Amino acid sequence: MLRYALKRLVSLAISLVVASVVIFAMVEVVPGDPAAYMLGINATEETLNALRDQLGLNGTLLERYAGWVGGMLRGDFGTSYTYRTPVAEMIGERLWISLPLALFALTLSTAIAFPAGIWAASKRGSLVDTSVMGVTQLGVAIPNFWFAMLMVLVFAINLRWFNAGGFAGWDAGILPAMKSLTLPAIALALPQASILARVMRSSLLDTLGEDFIRTARAKGLSKRQALWRHALRNALIPVLTIIGLQFSFLMAGAIIIENVFFLPGLGRLVFQSISARDLIVVESVVMLLVFAVVMVNFAVDLAYAVVDPRLRVRA
Amino acid sequence: MSLLEIEGLDLDIHGAPILRGVSMSVAPGQIVGVIGESGSGKSMTAFAVLQLLPEGAMCRGRVELNGHDMLGLPEPSLCRLRGNEVGMVFQEPMTALNPIKTIGEQVAETILIHEDVSKRAAMARAREALDRCELPGDRFPMSRYPHELSGGQRQRVVIAMAIALRPKLLIADEPTTALDVTTQAEILRLIRRLVEEDSMGCMLITHDLAVVADMADEIVIMRRGEVVEAGPTAQVFAEMNHPYTRALFEASGHQPVREAQTQSVPLLQVRDAVRDYALPRNRLFAPQDYFRAVNRVSLTIERGESLGLVGESGCGKSTLTRAILGLEELQGGEILLDGAPVFSGHQPNRAVRRRMQVVFQDPYGSFNPRWKVARLVAEPFHLMDARPADWRDQVAKVLEDVGIGADAMHRYIHEFSGGQRQRIAIARALILRPELVVLDEAVSALDVSIRAQILDLLAALQKDYGLSYLFISHDLSVVRNITDRVLVMRAGEIVEQGKTAAVFDNPQNWYTKKLIEAAPVLPDHGVAGGGAE
């Protein structure tokens, strides 16, 4: 198990290095000079050069890459070209919204998907199964921003249970902060829950058709016992894969929902930075997201090994 | 009094008749062999006893197990009986165990489900059950997972689960079909010992007459959901009242009519073939280790000859086959077809490849389900530079030759039975008019009567097409009946070779002797044999 974890760690490190090189290279080839963008068209070559020096844009490629990576390792992500504030600070603020939002949404989607998927699988072909399949079909088909707008209309504008947007801030206390994340989290969670429930159901049905379930039944286990004791854990592998992918998506892909609810999250930060050519912010946020995705995959890999003893050996 | 009494059992699944008027009984300490081909309803009879039937199943009749009316009991009562009064062993040991639970947990679960004992006590009794199934604690600790065990060992775990509570009845559904002959003999011996020790009744389901001939006190022969003949084993073998019994018996030992047509011209020559597989490295900079799957094997197949290659799983016969077919490169030695190398450079030699073809074991998995038969059979034409203009006529002709008929061309493979699919596989192998056909367990998955027909077909085609066969099988009786010469392979090496009859009648190598002894044999026709020992 330890060796498995170590191997995963090595591959994690390699992924991070490769990703940093790719991100750096992409930002390098993007046309547009941040210094020119910041100073406007009337700037002289001298002032431009001075600013480039200040921003660390004048070294060789290798120097700049080393400077960027070294800075990140120390927690120094550089200074935003547009806001003139440290990127680390900007990311830090936004992370405190995006990360809780992603975790909230993931918890919701798992809490909905597991029971729904298990229930549908255990009553295959019944009314329950058909309804779960029908509802999740809708959930997959309807885009989440439409859900979001619908919820704003019903719960914020008509019923006035929630605010229509904005973030209360963690200073206001956990409950108000969570309350302002609730509608966005639900909007993010519903399509994810639909997909996850369907994966759970089909994976569980596959497992329930396996020979060892028949063996368990021949031992005297009831259908229910066989499902909970033998099928569920075996059915988890594909479900874990989807959860990992979904978490990665939630971290980076919440842009639209953040916009609908006026949440200052990472997604909006990336969007704004790209429009403003604030490449150092883009670079850093993208690298951070890559880091998050890689870490989630690492966690999912470890979870695989916990679930399935065969993987501990194979690696 | 009988332990299990089945009387007039009818079973329908979604309205389709599966069993009709099945009656049989098992007494304590008695082994009853239930024999039939696929679709005969033998497994469904077992599942009807346990009431573990698929959805939409409807039973009528009477199934009484140790005084319990199995058809009338509610599900919770049935759960209390399963595993407790009746244990079951299945065909596929590789998939019958939960891959993510230890063997100890899985055996102990049988006990924990039925008795109010501590986990510790259950584990101790599980240990006992595993010991009884000859899985000693020093080599097979309870913390082992199924994937760490071989097929035979897994089957012992399944048996340990089934007998942990010393049930009155043991149902074994093809318990050895997926195993090698020597492992089969050991598992059958184990079952017989357990039946004697616990005075269990045992319902032994199999398609192999030879297996029950040795083991069973009584046999029941089933066909299309009905019992066609039943009685004490010796008597049934002696009388064979029903024509189907006779047909089954004859098909089991079927010897196709064939004349030796070996010419003393070598067709395939394998010289000192070596095939190594790289093993996974344990440490980062560890030197690369290899597993030698084929170790300096030499053999020759002459024109018109049928050569048998026998050995147990893992002996290297499949690896050797792949090398002969040019699917994998050798690490040493050479393989020549008619003097030309199978591999030239690091590429398979297409000119040689088209002169030999292969038929695999699984008639279900070896076809693309989305292609029509015409395209499936014509597929080997890609080995030619261009597909001949009259390819459709050639496909039609070869389909006629294998007894399928040209109108099959426009149908999909799922429309055919297993035996028909194997005929189509043979047609596909013959379309390029090869000189050598490799038959890799080509009849192992077929029912005995179908197998007999395919063997006849192969014998006829050998004559018409002037073929040489390399016949790879774990089934000694089939190899004996269809080959001129035989090679015995063990651990990557040929340990014995010679004329088939000579090797079987007078084996020299200890391993060949062991294989032949382990293989169950049919009693001679009309002579009482087998029975209880």
Tens digits of per-residue pLDDT, B462-511? 988 889 999 998 888 889 888 999 999 998 999 999 999 999 999 999 99
Spatial distance between the Cα atoms of A169 and B403, rounded to a whole number of angstroms = 79
pLDDT of residue A2: 78
Q: What angle do CA B214, B216, B219 make, to 5 degrees?
A: 120
Query: How many Cα atoms are found within 13 Å in the side-chain-facing hemisphere of B308?
Result: 25
Q: Is it true that domain B4-252 has CATH number 3.40.50.300?
A: yes
Per-residue tokens: B272:
């000192």
Residues of B with CB under 8 A from a CB of A: 50, 52, 75-76, 79-84, 87-88, 90, 92, 95-101, 109-110, 113-114, 145, 147-148, 158, 161-162
Spatial distance between the Cα atoms of A49 and A64, rounded to a whole number of angstroms = 16
The H-or-E segment that residue A180 falls in is helix A174-208
Residue A266 is assigned to a structural domain of this protein: yes
The pLDDT > 70 percentage for chain A reads: 97
pLDDT of residue B283: 66
Tens digits of per-residue pLDDT, A62-115? 888 888 888 888 888 888 877 888 888 888 888 888 888 999 999 999 999 999
Are the C-beta atoms of A19 and A297 separated by less than 8 Å?
no
Residues B210, B211, B215, B218, CA torsion sign: negative
Selected residue of A219, A237, A306 to mutate for chain B interface (largest B Cβ count, 10 A): A219
Calculate mean pLDDT across residues B427-451: 89
| Closest Cα in chain A, distance from residue B283 (Å) | 10
Choose the closest CB to A221 out of B50, B113, B158.
B113
Average pLDDT, chain A: 86
pLDDT band at B1 (very low <50, low <70, confident <90, very high): low
| Closest Cα in chain A, distance from residue B252 (Å) | 29
pLDDT of residue B532: 34
Phi then psi for residue B359, to 5 deg, are -125, 125
Cβ contact B100–A214 (<8 Å): no
Q: What are the chain B neighbours of A224 within 8 Å (beta carbons)?
A: none
pLDDT of residue A124: 87
Per-residue tokens: B431:
């379309």
Residue located via tokens 């170790």 = B295
Are the C-beta atoms of B492 and B156 separated by less than 8 Å?
no
Residue A178 is assigned to a structural domain of this protein: yes
Calculate mean pLDDT across residues A127-134: 91
Q: Specify the long-range contacts of residues A242-248, CB closer than 8 Å, at least 24 apart.
A: A242/A195, A242/A196, A242/A199, A243/A106, A243/A110, A243/A196, A243/A300, A244/A296, A244/A297, A244/A299, A244/A300, A246/A106, A246/A109, A246/A192, A246/A195, A246/A196, A247/A102, A247/A106, A247/A296, A248/A289, A248/A292, A248/A293, A248/A296, A248/A297
CA distances from A124 to A133, A201, B104 (A): 10, 9, 32
Residue A8 is assigned to a structural domain of this protein: no
CA distances from B128 to A212, A219, B152 (A): 22, 17, 19
Selected residue of B49, B88, B95, B100 to mutate for chain A interface (largest A Cβ count, 10 A): B100
CA-based nearest residue in chain A for residue B145: A309
The string of DSSP letters for A10-53 reads HHHHHHHHHHHHHHHHHHHHS---HHHHHH-TT--HHHHHHHHH
pLDDT of residue B528: 38
Per-residue tokens: B520:
């169950």
Cβ contact A215–B90 (<8 Å): yes
Tens digits of per-residue pLDDT, A20-47? 999 888 877 766 677 777 777 777 888 8
Q: What are the chain B neighbours of A215 within 8 Å (beta carbons)?
A: 88, 90, 96-98, 158, 161
Cβ contact B98–A230 (<8 Å): yes
pLDDT of residue B269: 93
CA-based nearest residue in chain A for residue B88: A218
Q: At what angle do helices A87-122 and A127-141 cross, to 10 degrees?
A: 150
Q: What are the chain A neighbours of B50 within 8 Å (beta carbons)?
A: 218
Tens digits of per-residue pLDDT, B128-168? 999 999 999 898 999 999 999 988 999 999 999 999 999 99
pLDDT band at A313 (very low <50, low <70, confident <90, very high): low
pLDDT of residue A258: 86
Calculate mean pLDDT across residues A186-206: 93
CA-based nearest residue in chain B for residue A125: B55
pLDDT band at B419 (very low <50, low <70, confident <90, very high): confident
Per-residue tokens: B50:
């346990």
pLDDT of residue B284: 63
Selected residue of B98, B155, B158, B282 to mutate for chain A interface (largest A Cβ count, 10 A): B98
CATH code where residue A168 lies: 1.10.3720.10
Choose the closest CB to A211 out of B50, B83, B96.
B96
| Closest Cα in chain A, distance from residue B290 (Å) | 17
Spatial distance between the Cα atoms of B291 and B277, rounded to a whole number of angstroms = 5
pLDDT of residue A76: 84
Cβ contact B95–A211 (<8 Å): yes
pLDDT of residue B525: 55
Single out the residue of A230, A227, A238 nearest to residue A199, CA to CA. A238
Q: Spell out the residues 6+ positions from residue B92 whose beta carbon is closer than 8 angstroms to its own.
A: A211, B178
Average pLDDT, chain B: 89
CA-based nearest residue in chain A for residue B50: A218
Choose the closest CB to B100 out of A219, A220, A307.
A307
10 Å Cβ neighbour count for A145? 15
Tens digits of per-residue pLDDT, A93-106? 888 888 889 999 99
| Terminal CA-CA length for chain A | 9
Give the length of chain B: 533
Whether residue A314 is predicted with pLDDT greater than 60 in this model: the reply is no
CA distances from A145 to A183, A262, A289 (A): 11, 13, 22
Q: Spell out the residues 6+ positions from residue B79 whose beta carbon is closer than 8 angstroms to its own.
A: A220, A221, A222
| Closest Cα in chain B, distance from residue A229 (Å) | 10
The pLDDT > 70 percentage for chain B reads: 97
> If you compute the radius of gyration of chain A from its CA atoms, what whole number of angstroms results?
24
Tens digits of per-residue pLDDT, B186-195? 999 999 999 9
Calculate mean pLDDT across residues A208-223: 93
Q: What are the chain A neighbours of B148 within 8 Å (beta carbons)?
A: 313
3-state secondary structure of A187: helix
Single out the residue of B234, B232, B298, B305 nearest to residue B266, CA to CA. B305
Choose the closest CB to A219 out of B83, B95, B145.
B83
Q: What are the chain A neighbours of B95 within 8 Å (beta carbons)?
A: 210-212
Whether residue B281 is predicted with pLDDT greater than 80 in this model: the reply is no
The H-or-E segment that residue B446 falls in is none
Q: What are the chain A neighbours of B80 within 8 Å (beta carbons)?
A: 220
The residue ranking higher by pLDDT, B298 or B525, is B298
Cβ contact B82–A219 (<8 Å): yes
Which segments of B83-232 does DSSP mark as H helices, in order? Answer: 103-114, 119-132, 151-163, 181-198, 209-215
Are the C-beta atoms of B101 and B119 separated by less than 8 Å?
no
Report yes or no for ipTM above 0.85: no
Cβ contact B145–A214 (<8 Å): no
pLDDT of residue B345: 76
Range with top average pLDDT, A221-225, A280-284, B282-286: A221-225
Q: What are the chain B neighbours of A234 within 8 Å (beta carbons)?
A: 98-100
Per-residue tokens: B120:
């510790």
Q: What are the chain A neighbours of B90 within 8 Å (beta carbons)?
A: 211, 214-215, 218
- 3-class DSSP string for B42-68: HHHHHHHHHCCCCCCEEEEEEEEECCE
Are the C-beta atoms of B22 and B208 separated by less than 8 Å?
no
Calculate mean pLDDT across residues A207-231: 93
Spatial distance between the Cα atoms of B390 and B371, rounded to a whole number of angstroms = 20
Single out the residue of B306, B335, B268, B298 nearest to residue B499, CA to CA. B306
Q: Spell out the residues 6+ positions from residue A138 whose beta carbon is closer than 8 angstroms to its own.
A: A194
Residues of A with CB under 8 A from a CB of B: 210-212, 214-222, 225, 229-230, 233-234, 307-310, 313
Are the C-beta atoms of B437 and B272 separated by less than 8 Å?
no
Farthest CA pair distance, chain B = 75
Range with top average pLDDT, A271-285, B75-89, B364-378, B408-422: B75-89
Spatial distance between the Cα atoms of B89 and B155, rounded to a whole number of angstroms = 8
Number of domains present in the structure of chain A = 1
Cβ contact A218–B75 (<8 Å): no
Cβ contact B87–A218 (<8 Å): yes
How far from chain centre, in Å, is Cα B254? 17
Residues B299, B461, B318, B183, CA torsion sign: negative
Q: Which residues pair with B439 in a beta bridge?
A: B359, B471
pLDDT band at B44 (very low <50, low <70, confident <90, very high): very high
Whether residue B529 is predicted with pLDDT greater than 70 in this model: the reply is no
Q: What are the chain A neighbours of B99 within 8 Å (beta carbons)?
A: 212, 234, 308-310
The string of DSSP letters for B481-533 reads HH-SEEEEEETTEEEEEEEHHHHHHS--SHHHHHHHHHS--PPPTTS------
pLDDT of residue B530: 37
> If you compute the radius of gyration of chain B from its CA atoms, what whole number of angstroms results?
25
Q: What are the chain A neighbours of B81 within 8 Å (beta carbons)?
A: 220
Q: What are the chain A neighbours of B97 within 8 Å (beta carbons)?
A: 212, 215
pLDDT of residue B309: 93
- DSSP state, residue A90: H
Tens digits of per-residue pLDDT, B240-258? 899 999 988 888 888 888 7
Question: Where is average pLDDT lowest: A50-54, A126-130, B420-424, B435-439?
Answer: A50-54
- Any idea where the domains of chain B sit in the sequence? 4-252
Exposure string of B202-224, with b = 16+ CB inside 10 Å and e = fewer, is: bbbbbbbbbbbbbbbbbbbbbbe
Q: Which residues pair with B335 in a beta bridge?
A: B270
